[in-house]
Each structure stands twice: as structure tokens, then as C-alpha cells.
């Protein structure tokens, strides 16, 4: 099992590289204290607790002749002073490290994506229902280019780790793409990929999942436009086979002060593929100083996912406003009734700079979830307000509060939850390579 030791290996390697010739290395450490009036997220008998969370992380960036790397890592130790839930360690990572063996020809890649997921996919995200989820892949990239043509072949060995669910699996991944430049602004190409998935537990059904399609990309005066269309398939070892058309579309407009982004897709996917999916915002910062989970994805199975997302950001001298809206239909290919989901939601954030070192912010998010095969629903809404105060160039204090509730026909998802929090964080100075 690869799991956490590969994350630690990647972190240790990045530290060594930083000492040698890092372009940029920014450590950060902090302490968060939350007073939660309903720690177990229950309708009756709500229990209060104080959660103290020390955390450490860093951002590492480097791009040179032999190394191209980007690592954003954080580990948190959640401690419950009333000893209601057990203390737990949670980590997150968004990272890749490319060792350039032959420039523009041969690269060896290390990639890791880690976050938290719900153990039971559609119950509340209370402490006892949170687990670590990690996807690690490594393998070579072969690059072919002659000016007007560009080809890329990727081979990967991957490991997917769930700290509690017991759905760990290994996979072999292969992908290939070829594109031809039509002119200096656009290209046309072909793409294909396949993942061969082998679960460690024998009672889970192994499967192969893949797609093949054509892609068109165009650079616009203030943005980009991309579209992919084709078909995808999945073959389960129990004999169940499915195939269907697939498509992806992405448009982005960015003139500096305004950013508009539209994305839509219809395709087969699973949790590991979604963790690396660049099309959607798994964590979305709505300007409240702490990202909120706009579309939590959990589970262990292949789903037919149809999704659309739109976001807009406007940033001025003192005001930053952000809006995100999304909708998604998910159908499991093996027919698990609990995994049929129709979801629509939005997030709104506003931040106002009072002074150079002081800002106010407010955020609001809401979602409506219908579990169609269970004839059940959950509506979630929360509002947060707070203040960011920069004590010094590297030290920041955040104070705020959030009010939220879930309403549902399921007693497990019908509750209110109010939190008051304080965070203090040190973010180190950037170390630039000379």
C-alpha cells in the first residue's frame, strides 16, 4: 500500500530540493480555535465542543532545466477539548514534480492529490464521518513535437488510499494525445485514456474505465476555449459493461479585473479521476479567507456524471467579489441506490479592504441535493462573516463566525450548526533562487 508514506516522501524530497536550489519556498504554520455548538451535527441533544487545530504547510514552486514542480501541502491535528470525538490528523496536498530527463522529450512524473472525504457519502460531515483520501501516481511522459505537430504519451502506476472506507486500489493508467496547430491561435487533436483498477478487497468489483475523443482548442484575445467530444466506456469484472457519448467544454475570459469561467461535461468518472480533474473547482475560495467545499465528491464507484459550473470574479482596488454556481447529476453504473444524486448549488463571497492591513469579508453558500432513488432530499445553507487583520507582513489574524443548517426528511441530516472561530497564521517570506 502506497498511501501516506508517498506523501511524506514527496514532502521530504521537496524540502531537500528547496535547500539545494528552490525557486520559491513559503512555509506556513498556524493555530485555529473553533467553538462549535453542535459538534456531532444532530437535531436532538446537540453537544458543544472546542476544537483546537495546529497546522503546518508550505508552498513550493520551481521550474528549471531539470525540475518542474508545484507542491501545496498542509497537515492538521484536530483536538477536541471535551474529548467528544477522537482527535484526528488530516492532510491535504495538490502537487506534481516532473524530473526532466531529456528536455522536451522524456520526463518522469510524480503526482499526489490528497484531501478529506466523507466515510458515508451522503451523511453529514461530522468528525466521525471524515477520512483522509489520497491519490498518488508516478510514471514517464514521452513527448513528440516537430513544430506544427505535438504528441504526448503518459504511463502511470497509481495508488488510491482511503483511511477508513477500505476501498484502497491500485491502477495502471495510460493516456495519449496528439494535436496539430491549425494556426497560431488554435489546434485540433485526438485524446484517449484508460485506467485499469484493482481493489485490494476481494469483494469489490474491479473495472477498466476509459475514453477516446477529438479536441479543439483556441486562444481568444482575453481567454481560452476548449471542447472535447467522443465516447467513454467501463468494463466491470462481473460482466457489466457500459459505454456512452462523452463531452467536455471550457471557456474562460480574463481581462485582469474580471474573470468569467464556464465549464460543462458529460462523462464516466470515479473518485481518483475526479481528484485530478482540472475542469471543476473541488475547493472554491469565495473570498472568506477559508475555502469551502463547493461540490464534495465521495464514494468508491464509477458514476455517469453530468455537470455544469459557472464562476465570476471581480477584483478592484478595495473590493473583491466572487460567485460560483453549479449543478450535477450522478448515476452509479452498478446501481447503488444511495449514489443517485441531483445537485444544484451556489457560493457568493465579498471582501472589502478597510485599510492595507484590515479587511472585512462575508460568504454565503447553499445547495439542494435530491437522492432520487431514495426519495430523499437535503438542503444546506450557511453564512460566514469575519475580519482579517495583518499583524505584520507575515502574520495574519482571522476572527469570524458561521451560521448553518441542513434541512432534510432524513433525521441524520436535519440540524443546525453555529461556529465562532479564531485563526492566527504565519506565512514565511518567499525564498527566491539567485
Q: Flag the least confident range among 215-229, 247-261, 328-342.
A: 328-342
Mean pLDDT calculated for residue range 51-58: 92
In this structure, what C-alpha cell is assigned to residue 218? 483556441
**Whole-prediction pTM:** 0.86
Looking at the predicted structure, is the pLDDT value of residue 418 above 90? Answer: yes
What is the DSSP code string of 260-299? EEEEEEEEEE-HHHHHT-TTS-SEE--SSSS-EESS----
Q: Evaluate whether 165 touches 131 at the Cβ level (below 8 Å).
A: yes
Q: What is the dihedral of CA 115, 119, 122, 128, to 10 degrees?
A: -100
Per-residue pLDDT of 183-226, as tens digits, reads 889 999 999 999 999 999 988 999 999 999 999 999 998 999 99
pLDDT in tens, 101-160: 999 899 999 999 888 888 887 778 788 888 888 999 999 999 998 878 899 999 999 999
In CATH terms, 3-427 corresponds, of 1.10.3860, 2.30.30, 1.10.3470, 2.40.170, to 2.40.170
Find the Cα–Cα–Cα–Cα dihedral 159, 162, 168, 171, rounded to 10°.
Answer: -30
Integer angstrom CA distances of residue 247 from 227, 229, 310, 331: 7, 4, 17, 16
**Mean pLDDT, rounded, for 403-410:** 90
CA–CA dist 25, 382 (Å, integer):
35
Average pLDDT on 247-268 reads: 94
Whether 404 shows a pLDDT value over 70: the answer reads yes
CB 332 within 8 A of CB 234: no
Domain definitions of the chain by residue range? 3-427
Q: How far apart are CA 13 and CA 6, in angstroms?
A: 10
Q: In this structure, what C-alpha cell is assigned to residue 359? A: 479587511
d(CA 204, CA 182): 46
Q: What is the mean pLDDT of residues 365-385?
A: 90
Mean pLDDT to the nearest integer, 381-387: 92
Find the length of the chain: 434
As a whole number, mean pLDDT of residues 163-179 equals 93
CA atoms within 13 A on the CB side of 18: 18
Checking if the pLDDT of 284 tops 80, the result is no
Residue 434: pLDDT above 50? Answer: no
**Average pLDDT across the chain, whole number:** 86
Amino acid at each position: 500500500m502506497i498511501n501516506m508514506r508517498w506523501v511524506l516522501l514527496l514532502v521530504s524530497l521537496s524540502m531537500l530540493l528547496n535547500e539545494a536550489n528552490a525557486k520559491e519556498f513559503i512555509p506556513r504554520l498556524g493555530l485555529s480555535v473553533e467553538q462549535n455548538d453542535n459538534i456531532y451535527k444532530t437535531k436532538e441533544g446537540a453537544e458543544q465542543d472546542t476544537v483546537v487545530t495546529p497546522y503546518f504547510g508550505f508552498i513550493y514552486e520551481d521550474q528549471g532545466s531539470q525540475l518542474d514542480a508545484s507542491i501545496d501541502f498542509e497537515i492538521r491535528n484536530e483536538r477536541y477539548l471535551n474529548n467528544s470525538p477522537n482527535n484526528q490528523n488530516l492532510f491535504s496536498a495538490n502537487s506534481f514534480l516532473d524530473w526532466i530527463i531529456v528536455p522536451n522529450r522524456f520526463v518522469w512524473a510524480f503526482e499526489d492529490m490528497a484531501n478529506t472525504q466523507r466515510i458515508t457519502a451522503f451523511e453529514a460531515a461530522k468528525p466521525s464521518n471524515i477520512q483522509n483520501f489520497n491519490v498518488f501516481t508516478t510514471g514517464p511522459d514521452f513527448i513528440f513535437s516537430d513544430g506544427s505537430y505535438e504528441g504526448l504519451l503518459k504511463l502511470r502506476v497509481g495508488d488510491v488510499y482511503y483511511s477508513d472506507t477500505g476501498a484502497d486500489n491500485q491502477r495502471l493508467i495510460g493516456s495519449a494525445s496528439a494535436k496539430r496547430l491549425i494556426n497560431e491561435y488554435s489546434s485540433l487533436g485526438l485524446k484517449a485514456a484508460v485506467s485499469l483498477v484493482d481493489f485490494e478487497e476481494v469483494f469489490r468489483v474491479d473495472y477498466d474505465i476509459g475514453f477516446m475523443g477529438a479536441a479543439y482548442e483556441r486562444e481568444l484575445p482575453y481567454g481560452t476555449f476548449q471542447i472535447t467530444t467522443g465516447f467513454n466506456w467501463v468494463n466491470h469484472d462481473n460482466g457489466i459493461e457500459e459505454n456512452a457519448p462523452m463531452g467536455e467544454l471550457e471557456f474562460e475570459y480574463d481581462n485582469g479585473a474580471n474573470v468569467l469561467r464556464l465549464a460543462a461535461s458529460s462523462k464516466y468518472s470515479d473518485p481518483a479521476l475526479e481528484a485530478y480533474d482540472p475542469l471543476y473547482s473541488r475547493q472554491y475560495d469565495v473570498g472568506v479567507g477559508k475555502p469551502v467545499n463547493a461540490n464534495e465528491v465521495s464514494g468508491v464507484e464509477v458514476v455517469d456524471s453530468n455537470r455544469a459550473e459557472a464562476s465570476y470574479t471581480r477584483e478592484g482596488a478595495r473590493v473583491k467579489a466572487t460567485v460560483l454556481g453549479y449543478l450535477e447529476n450522478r448515476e452509479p453504473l452498478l446501481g447503488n441506490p444511495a449514489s443517485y444524486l441531483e445537485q444544484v448549488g451556489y457560493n457568493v463571497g465579498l471582501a472589502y479592504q478597510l485599510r492595507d492591513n484590515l479587511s472585512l469579508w462575508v460568504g454565503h453558500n447553499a445547495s439542494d441535493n435530491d437522492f432520487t432513488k431514495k426519495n430523499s432530499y437535503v438542503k444546506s445553507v450557511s453564512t460566514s462573516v469575519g475580519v482579517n487583520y495583518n499583524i505584520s507582513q507575515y502574520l495574519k489574524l482571522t476572527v469570524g463566525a458561521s451560521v448553518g443548517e441542513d434541512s432534510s426528511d432524513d433525521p441524520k441530516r436535519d440540524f443546525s450548526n453555529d461556529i465562532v472561530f479564531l485563526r492566527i497564521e504565519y506565512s514565511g517570506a518567499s525564498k527566491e533562487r539567485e
